[in-house]
Structure 1
Amino acid sequence: MKCLPFTIRDKNGEPKTTKSVSVRSTSTSMSADRDMRTSWSELMSQNASDFSTASSATAVNPFAILSQRQSNLREFTFEELKASTKNFSRSLMIGEGGFGGVYRGIMRSTDDPHKKIDIAVKQLSRRGLQGHKEWITEVNVLGVVEHPNLVKLLGYCAEDDERGIQRLLVYEYMPNRSVQDHLSSRFQTPLSWTMRIKIAQDSARGLTYLHEGMDLQIIFRDFKSSNILLDDQWNAKLSDFGLARLGPSSGDSHISTLVVGTIGYAAPEYIQTGHLTTKSDVWSYGIFLYELITGRRPLDRNRPKNEQKLLEWIKPNLSDMKKFQTILDPQLEGKYSLRSAQRLASVANRCLVRHPKTRPKMSEVLAMVDRIVEAMETGSPKAPLRSVATNDELEKSRTERFKRRFLDPITGEMGWLVCWTWRPKLMKTC
């Protein structure tokens, strides 16, 4: 029996429920399986050490146990999950990633045996140990955090037999799929503008909690539209924490890691140096806001060459109000608030400044998005003109204000975007 226990404290210093994750191994006579079990055990230890990101020998592991409590995560058997997904039927597959497939399943509720609940089961590939560290990290993160805008992990399964190691994760089912699915025209009805603003607000709440809502700091490191899922009430929740890392220890400005993530979302300083901070997530959030505004992916090789990179395409259209309207998602069919779109672009530009230290914290970003939502709900009165001016003068004044507000923050001190110095060989696409 291998146990990974954790304790977390909220901002007030009060200990929250500790969740202890147990992973079982069964014996087998095959030498290949013995080797695999050894690697499994070693990687468990290695990953727990890596996730703590201690900067010195005396650093305190933020997951150290302060009080032993019963785990809230359920340990499923492989046979249970096999039955719930009809032997992992392709007809029930709702997603597929680099480490395996995700299936919809049905199980009886532990609270009410007469009630059935929908679940999502992620099955990692049984071939080798690819994705093992991500699996462990996912359990580590979702085993200690809980927030309305984070997908809930219900339990896990870890068994090994003659077929290899079975590694599965069981989540709450999110019936409305991912934000990327809706932006990529997979659904006939596109997301409304009001819904997009709400999604921006929900995802900002989730990131703010990870960065600032606990006495430890978690960097998501793979924030993107496909990792933002929508529940039956269209609430947005962050998912897939396999690449998450704890923030730097006290006194450190960053942690150094292998550059991984998804091309198009990673912050330029992280790509160039491997230095990871919460401001890397802030950059990714800014990219995501422009996804909501334009309906386009950060990098789309299927578009004309001058339109493949989202930030390069939008840059010439930010200095003029009429040009700005041309970048808004045509699927909206003009049904949007131009003022709120401009304000959301302004927030995105604040997140996309070149120097990470000058980017806002996620709590500040959330406050800005909250004000946009409030203005849309109540309607903000327009200030009267102080003097009479000609139409040409008014247009010129509006253009200059728009240019200062939207173009300057994103172009940085040198007056141009520095965001596409990619190193694909270092990146792991997801």
Structure 2
Amino acid sequence: MRPSCFLRWDLYTYSKAFDNITVASPPPKPPVTVPQPAGDQNNSTDNDNKGISAGVVVAITVPTVMAVLILLVVGFIIFRRRKPYQRAEIESESDISSTDSLVYDFKTIEAATNKFSMSNKLGEGGFGAVYKGKLSNGTEVAVKRLSKKSGQGTREFRNEAVLVSKLQHRNLVRLLGFCLEGEEKILIYEFVPNKSLDFFLFDPVKQSQLDWTLRYKIIGGIARGVLYLHQDSRLTIIHRDLKASNILLDANMNPKISDFGLATIFRMEQTQENTSRIVGTYGYMSPEYAMHGQYSMKSDIYSFGVLVLEIISGKKNSSFYQTDEAHDLVSYAWRLWSNGTPSELVDPAIADSFQRNEVVRCVHIGLLCVQEDPSERPTLSSIVMMLTSNTMTLPVPRQPGLSFQSRIGKDPLDTDQFSTTRSLIGSVDDASITDLYPR
């Protein structure tokens, strides 16, 4: 580790003109002899050689090791800063290749659905049609065939296939398999006989089949399903498209969250992500997501709050229009709460069967979930406790932020049935225009 140097010298003038001339060097001066203890003369020479060798080794090794460490640190930082969807896509590709047991060939699915006959069609959403099928072993399935013209590409398909295959919860729909052949992208789910929540909730005839006890049970089941996504599963997952049409009902009317095409995986320490691609459904988007592209667990909680108010009222937020200072369901619920009449929000179809204290508590929870400041919205673990404990004191809600639907006015399209691409005339930031991809 000590300093060292190498010195060379000549005792004559050197020139190329004298290349062929040999100049005799003067005899060297006799070395000065310093008395040393016996046996130390050889050791002195060896120590000098070892010192020079050690210096050279250190001079080469230290910079090399430092350079390697710097490269490793830079590479680690770049890897950690990659976007979640990029990591999810890489993970999805490797996971799909290793999940051979989930792969179905197209001919098997075609036979199960009778060549996708109209008689087996259950419905159609933004990304394609859903058919009822029956496999050769007698298992009834729901087959989601993605439209070739839909906005969902290979990334969204892989995202949904891999995510749902890893999730196991009674309030999440179960994926049985998938097919990826040529342009065909197909997901095979367990068959849920009672269709989706909106099929009953917003139908003037069928909504009476959902009494208050059943609606309260559905609210609790959805909360537990989202809690599993956010906290209890192996992955931290943000659904980003919670709405009534994505809540399926099984034979016992238990809710099952479906449609993970827009879901995003968060790192363990990650709490928020920004995006320029706003995807979701009008009326359910949180203000910070719709206007600034910021989404987090609190974005799902906002959507859950809207869903709770819809279940109580039997009215859809995006199609709820009042003339007296209530532009949407959230504003209407807040006005009733402020007036001390939250029970007036209850669907008239169940006016004779609801428990007032449970309704008031659910309205309270719904308003807490749609607070404009994300930090004031409760977590799902707190919400589940609020729903199951009558002694827990709830915070006082403030006036909620306007939903995205009320900011831009009435949307002439049925966004639950069609996926469209649209540019707003203006946004909060006058220097930009936000492209939207509603569902």
TM score, norm. by length of structure 1: 0.70
Tell me the residue number matched to 2:192: 174
Is 1:224 the counterpart of 2:231? The answer is no
CA separation in 2, counterparts of 1:314 and 1:255? 30
Structure 1 residue ranges without an equivalent (≥5): 1-52, 110-115, 381-403
Secondary structure (helix, strand or coil) at the match of 1:290 reads helix
User: Partners of 2:99 and 2:274 in 1: how far apart?
Assistant: 31
Instruction: State the shift of 1:315 in Å.
Output: 2.3
Using the alignment, how far apart are the partners of 1:185 and 1:151 within structure 2? 23
Q: Where do residues 190-209 of structure 1 align in structure 2 (5 Å cutoff)?
A: 190-209=209-228
How far has the Cα of 1:57 moved from its partner?
5.7
Q: Alignment partner of 1:318: what SS?
A: helix
Structure 1 residue 130 displacement after superposition: 4.5
Find out whether 1:80 has 2:108 as its counterpart. yes
**What displacement does 1:354 show?**
1.6
Cα pair 2:386 2:394 within 8 Å, conserved: no
Q: Does 1:409 align with 2:427?
A: no
Structure-2 change in CA distance of 1:89 and 1:61 (3 Å): closer
- Structure 1 counterpart of 2:135: 107
2:179 pairs with 154, 157, 161, which one? Answer: 157
Letter of the 1:180 partner, please give it. D
Determine whether 1:140 maps to 2:162. yes
Tell me how far 1:422 sits from its aligned partner: 4.4
Q: CA deviation at 1:299?
A: 0.9
Contact 1:300/1:309 (8 A) holds in 2: yes
Q: Report what 2:51 is aligned to.
A: none
CA distance, structure 2, for counterparts of residue 177 and residue 255 of structure 1: 32
Note the C-alpha offset of 1:318: 1.2
- Using the alignment, how far apart are the partners of 1:78 and 1:345 within structure 2? 47
- The partner residue of 1:256 within 274, 279, 296 is 274
User: Partners of 1:368 and 1:61 in 2: how far apart?
Assistant: 35
Q: Could you tell me which residue of structure 1 aligns to residue 351 of structure 2?
A: 333
Q: Which stretch of the first structure deviates more once superposed, 54-63 or 71-80?
A: 54-63
Between the aligned residues of both structures, percent identity stands at 31
User: Matched residues in 1 for 2:151 and 2:344: separation?
Assistant: 47
For 1:54 and 1:198, how far apart are their aligned partners in 2? 43
Aligned CA-pair RMSD: 3.1
**1:411 and 1:57 mapped to 2: Cα distance?**
37
Distance 1:103 1:54, change over 3 A: farther
Cross-structure match for 2:438: 429
* Kept in 2: contact 1:352–1:410 (CA 8 A): no
Cα pair 1:73 1:156 within 8 Å, conserved: no
Considering only CA atoms, is the larger Rg found in Structure 1 or Structure 2? 2
- Are the aligned partners of 2:334 and 2:367 in contact in 1 as well (CA < 8 Å)? no
Q: Which residue of 2 aligns with 1:344?
A: 362
Q: What SS is found at the alignment partner of 2:389?
A: helix
Paired letter, 1:409: P
Query: Which residue of the partner structure matches residue 23 of structure 1?
Result: none
Amino acid at match of 1:419: S
CA distance in 1, matches of 2:79, 2:333: 40
Question: Is 1:315 the counterpart of 2:334 in the alignment?
Answer: yes
**Shift in CA distance, 61/405, structure 1 to aligned 2, threshold 3 Å:** closer
| Unaligned stretches of 5+ residues in structure 2 | 1-77, 409-421, 424-434
Shift of the 67–429 alpha-carbon distance from structure 1 to 2, 3 Å rule, reads: closer
After TM superposition, the structure 1 = structure 2 runs for residues 261-340 of structure 1, keeping only pairs within 5 Å, are: 261-300=280-319, 303=321, 305=323, 309-321=328-340, 323-340=341-358
State the AA in 2 paired with 1:153.
L
Q: Which amino acid aligns with 1:120?
A: A
Alignment partner for residue 147 of structure 2, among 125, 128, 153?
A: 125
Task: Determine the structure 1 residue equivalent to 2:403.
Answer: 419
Contact 1:271-1:422 within 8 A present in 2 as well: no
Distance of 2:135 and 2:315 partners within structure 1: 37
CA contact (8 A) 1:73 1:153 kept: no
Contact 1:138-1:240 within 8 A present in 2 as well:
yes
Q: CA deviation at 1:147?
A: 1.1
1:350–1:201: structure 2 CA closer, same or farther, 3 Å change rule?
Answer: same
Contact 1:300-1:308 at 8 Å conserved across structures: no
Render the CA deviation track for 1:392-417: whole Å, top value 9, x for unaligned: xxxxxxxxxxxx989x51406xxxx4
The separation in 1 between residues aligned to 2:108 and 2:261, in whole angstroms, is 24
8 Å CA contact 1:76–1:155 kept in 2: the answer is yes
Query: Within 2, Cα distance between the matches of 1:127 and 1:356?
Result: 35
Using the size of structure 2 for normalisation, the TM-score is 0.68
Distance 1:284 1:96 in 2: 22
